[in-house]
């Protein structure tokens, strides 16, 4: 077992650095990515290594620089466009939802759009609701893009590298609340992730990638399947510890990418456990969570012992108040309650 | 640069050989004859959707694109809005592929997936018509960024209508082009109408659009878009001044020495106001009731861009009436052939519906299809 200490933010940086060393067409553009060294220090040191031609500070003009990235991708470059927060990308919606994912289709396959959009996603920092968006449900609905919500430094690195090697628009929704996770090594992670270093990327392996569309079982179990991604994976693992005391053994399936979705792994797990709770950090209505529930009902109707339940952000704007914001998010308490309800043990 | 001072400079069009001038005339006639056929086919409901006719503006596309590198069409890309048949044809797209696209045929430039507003031809450096007003401006800046990044010497023409002047995407793109000194020319096809709203009602400083360029310290030029040679002259100068624009920020630490001048950088991006007239309505569904009293189309027709170049060629003995008639017959035949080609081509087949979504496989599910959702893909069609 490695004693490695690598933060989530460092894993993202490693992915970008390794791919940029391999491919001269890759550049990083965004607000404060260069001289400021990254508003969240994700790109720290990258200006020094790659210079201002490839690490480009943009003005606060998301429509402009997101769209510029798309034009550059059409020309043949491989842009990484960083949104300081995904909450800020909505002003660029026409570019990232109309131009990027549809370019290949609308041009009859002539122009691809190999671009990576990445940045912080999700609430939890008392920023008020405008800065607290979780974008996965709105964006996963759009054909032509791929979307990942990594939950660990290992996944953040492996998925981003796969996205950078790919030919399609790739949206990496990273968690601001998790950027520092891994600073204390495995101590920062649930004991379920310790064995086999499920949380850390392998050291000195520049070829390491994680294929998009491959779910990961973060904890095996027999009684109930939890399907989730991103930060809520850790809430689910926290719930697993509490439920273990009650003799309930849950399986945590981290889908890692909502689009494409590894429905096969989910189905196999639900066929084994016969019960399922879907946890998703966006609002419940027409969400990735509701999509997964629909899929499970279509495919596993005869395997289920009861309806699939869901845990989401509550259906309100994120409140500023620290405690009420935590209440609003998916959390271990809600997941624990949902599992017990799904197993008729409430 | 005002037209007054431009008129005192040597005219690049004086250097054009008779063959080049005849090619420009042919390209304009082709667009007009093609668009006449387009309108006819639309009336016959062979073309659907929104369809925006280029007639009246032929000199804009032909005058500007004739000033680009003629040997390598990929070197100087163009991108624009939805009134795109004109600059697609001027860039060299075959009329057959353009017409077939509007007919929704698989032989169209985008296999029938794009339609009238989305003409793409990668081999010809045609980066698309884009149908959300102003949405093409960041793309134009991005293509120029790519050229600069790869240290190539291409220039991008990014066409926009005057309706796009009021979109944020336009301003953000002007800003990025200016701060990074990108090799892009924003080509305002200023026909004065944003659908049915006159420019004076929608655009602040509509009487003095140099203000739009000055605000970003970008070079400004304007020309008469009904005069193809004046348009060519303007673009020949500005394309040369935009080519090889270098990013001043690539040298770290130099940013505090950057200086912007209202009149822009002598070797950098440019905003060109091309004053033109749309003979037809905004789209095929526009009866133009708002426009009847102005007389602008009648006035423009008296200065018709095609007739203007015909007179120029005849007066200078650079072409005979027989040459002109032959060019027109050739253009008519090409337009008729485009319709026949489109008619005879197979429809976009159901098998093409699920291609070109992703580079690898169709999503959104990595495997297993969509058992609970009936789609054209699994319904047995």
Q: Which CATH class is domain B3-348?
A: alpha beta
CB A144 to CB B140 under 8 A? no
Query: Which of A59, A77, A111 is the closest to B149 by Cβ?
Result: A77
Chain A residues with beta carbon closer than 8 angstroms to that of B76? none
The predicted-structure confidence for A269-326, as pLDDT tens digits, reads as follows: 999 999 999 999 999 999 999 999 999 999 999 999 999 999 999 999 999 999 999 9
pLDDT at B370 over 50: no
CB A104 to CB B359 under 8 A? yes
The chain B residue lying nearest A57, using CA atoms, is B249
CB A67 to CB B138 under 8 A? yes
Span B349-371, average pLDDT: 69
CB A67 to CB B139 under 8 A? yes
What residue ranges define each of the domains in chain A, with the CATH number in brackets?
8-178 (3.40.50.970), 213-342 (3.40.50.920)
Look at residue A124 in the predicted model and tell me its pLDDT: 87
Give the 3-state DSSP-derived string for chain B, with helices as H, strands as E and coil as C: CCHHHHCCCCCHHHHCCHHHHHHHHHHHHHHHHHHHHHHHHHHCCCCCCCCCCCCCCHHHHHHHHCCCCCCCCCCCCEEECCCCHHHHHHCCCCHHHHHHHHCCECCCCCCCCCCCCCCCEHHHCEEEECCCCCCHHHHHHHHHHHHHHCCCCCCEEEEEEHHHHHCHHHHHHHHHHHHCCCCEEEEEEECCEECCEEHHHHCCCCCCCHHHHHCCCCEEEEEECCCHHHHHHHHHHHHHHHCCCCCHHHCCCHHHHCCCCCCCCCCCCEEEEEECCCCCCCCCCCCCHHHCCCCHHHHHHCCCHHHHHHHHHHHCCCCCHHHHHHHHHHHHHHHHHHHHHHHHCCECCHHHCCCCCCCCCCCCECCCCCCCCCCCCCCCC
Span B170-181, average pLDDT: 97
pLDDT-derived band at A195 (thresholds 50, 70, 90) equals confident
pLDDT at B137 over 70: yes
The predicted-structure confidence for A52-73, as pLDDT tens digits, reads as follows: 999 999 999 999 999 999 999 9
CB B135 to CB A99 under 8 A? yes
The predicted-structure confidence for B178-235, as pLDDT tens digits, reads as follows: 999 999 999 999 999 999 999 999 999 999 999 999 999 999 999 999 999 999 999 9
B118 touches chain A (CB under 8 A): yes
The chain B residue lying nearest A110, using CA atoms, is B122
Look at residue B188 in the predicted model and tell me its pLDDT: 98
Chain A residues with beta carbon closer than 8 angstroms to that of B368? 263-264
Look at residue B124 in the predicted model and tell me its pLDDT: 96
The catalytic residues of A are 62, 131
CB B366 to CB A65 under 8 A? no
Look at residue B367 in the predicted model and tell me its pLDDT: 44
ipTM comes to 0.96
pLDDT-derived band at B7 (thresholds 50, 70, 90) equals low
- Tokens 């000195």 -> residue: A204
Chain A residues with beta carbon closer than 8 angstroms to that of B150? 75-77
pLDDT-derived band at B375 (thresholds 50, 70, 90) equals low
Chain B residues with beta carbon closer than 8 angstroms to that of A168? 358-360
Contact criterion met (CB below 8 Å) for B129 and B117: yes
Size of interface A-B (CB pairs under 8 A): 187
Domains of chain B, by residue range, sit at: 3-348, 350-381
The chain A residue lying nearest B120, using CA atoms, is A107
Chain A residues with beta carbon closer than 8 angstroms to that of B250? 51-53
pLDDT-derived band at A95 (thresholds 50, 70, 90) equals very high
Look at residue B354 in the predicted model and tell me its pLDDT: 85
Contact criterion met (CB below 8 Å) for B315 and B234: no
Q: Please report, rounded to a whole number, the percentage of residues in chain A having pLDDT higher than 90.
A: 96
CB B356 to CB A109 under 8 A? yes
């Amino acid at each position: 077992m490695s004693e490695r200490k690598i933060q989530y933010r460092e894993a993202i940086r490693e992915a970008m650095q390794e791919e940029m060393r391999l491919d001269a067409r890759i550049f990083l553009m965004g607000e404060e990515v260069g001289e400021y060294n990254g508003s969240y220090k994700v790109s720290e040191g990258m200006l020094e290594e790659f210079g201002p031609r490839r690490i480009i500070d943009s003005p606060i003009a998301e429509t402009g620089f997101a769209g510029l990235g798309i034009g550059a991708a059409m020309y043949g470059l491989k842009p990484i466009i960083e949104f300081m927060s995904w909450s800020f990308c909505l002003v660029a919606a026409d570019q990232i939802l109309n131009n990027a994912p549809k370019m290949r289709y609308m041009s009859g396959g002539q122009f691809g759009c190999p671009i990576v959009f990445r940045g912080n996603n999700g609430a939890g920092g008392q920023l008020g609701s405008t800065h607290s968006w979780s974008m996965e449900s709105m964006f996963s609905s759009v054909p032509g893009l791929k979307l990942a919500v990594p939950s660990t430094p290992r996944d953040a690195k492996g998925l981003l590298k796969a996205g950078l090697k790919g030919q399609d628009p790739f949206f990496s929704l990273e968690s601001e609340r998790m950027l520092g996770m891994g600073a204390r090594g495995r101590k920062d992670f649930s004991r379920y992730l310790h064995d086999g270093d499920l949380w850390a990327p392998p050291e000195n392996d520049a070829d390491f990638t994680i294929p998009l569309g491959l779910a990961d079982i973060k904890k095996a179990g027999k009684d109930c399947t939890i399907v989730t991604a991103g930060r809520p994976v850790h809430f689910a693992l926290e719930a697993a510890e509490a439920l273990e005391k009650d003799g309930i053994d849950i399986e945590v399936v981290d889908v890692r990418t909502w689009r494409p979705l590894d429905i096969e792994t989910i189905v196999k797990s639900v066929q084994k456990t016969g019960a399922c709770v879907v946890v998703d950090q966006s609002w419940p209505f027409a969400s990735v969570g509701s999509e997964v529930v629909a899929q499970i009902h279509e495919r596993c109707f005869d395997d289920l012992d009861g309806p699939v339940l869901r845990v989401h952000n509550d259906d309100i704007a994120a409140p500023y108040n620290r405690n009420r914001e935590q209440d609003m998010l998916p959390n271990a308490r809600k997941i624990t309650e949902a599992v017990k309800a799904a197993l008729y043990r409430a | 640069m005002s037209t007054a001072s431009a008129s005192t400079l040597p005219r690049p069009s004086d250097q054009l050989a008779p063959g080049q001038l005849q090619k420009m005339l042919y390209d304009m006639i082709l667009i007009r004859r093609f668009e006449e056929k387009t309108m006819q086919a639309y009336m016959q409901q062979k073309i659907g959707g929104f369809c925006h006719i280029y007639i009246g503006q032929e000199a804009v596309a032909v005058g500007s694109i004739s000033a680009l590198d003629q040997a390598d069409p990929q070197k100087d890309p163009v991108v624009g809005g939805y009134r795109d048949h004109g600059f697609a044809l001027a860039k060299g797209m075959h009329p057959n592929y353009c017409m077939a696209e509007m007919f929704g045929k698989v032989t169209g430039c985008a296999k029938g997936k794009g339609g009238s507003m989305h003409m793409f031809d990668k081999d010809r450096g045609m980066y698309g018509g884009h149908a959300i007003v102003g949405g093409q401006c960041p793309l134009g800046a991005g293509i120029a960024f790519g050229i600069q990044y790869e240290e190539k010497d291409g220039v991008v023409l990014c066409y926009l209508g005057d309706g796009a002047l009021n979109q944020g995407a336009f301003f953000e793109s002007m800003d990025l082009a200016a701060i990074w000194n990108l090799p892009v020319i924003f080509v305002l096809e200023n026909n004065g109408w944003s659908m049915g709203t006159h420019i004076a009602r929608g655009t602040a400083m509509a009487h003095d659009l140099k203000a739009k360029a000055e605000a970003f310290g970008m070079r400004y030029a304007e020309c008469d878009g009904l005069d193809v040679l004046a348009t060519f002259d303007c673009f020949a100068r500005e394309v040369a001044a935009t080519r090889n624009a270098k990013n001043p920020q690539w040298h770290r630490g130099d940013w505090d020495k950057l200086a912007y001048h209202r009149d822009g950088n002598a070797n950098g991006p440019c905003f060109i106001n091309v004053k033109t007239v749309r003979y037809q309505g905004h789209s095929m569904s526009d009866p133009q009731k708002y426009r009847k009293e102005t007389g602008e189309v009648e006035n423009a027709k008296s200065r018709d861009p095609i007739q203007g170049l015909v007179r120029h060629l005849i007066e200078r003995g650079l072409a005979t009436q027989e040459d002109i008639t032959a060019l027109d017959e050739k253009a008519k035949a090409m337009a008729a052939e485009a319709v026949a080609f489109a008619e005879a081509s197979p429809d976009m087949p159901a098998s093409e519906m699920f291609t070109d979504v992703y580079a690898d496989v169709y999503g959104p599910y990595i495997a297993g299809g969509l058992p609970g959702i009936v789609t054209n893909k699994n319904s047995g069609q």
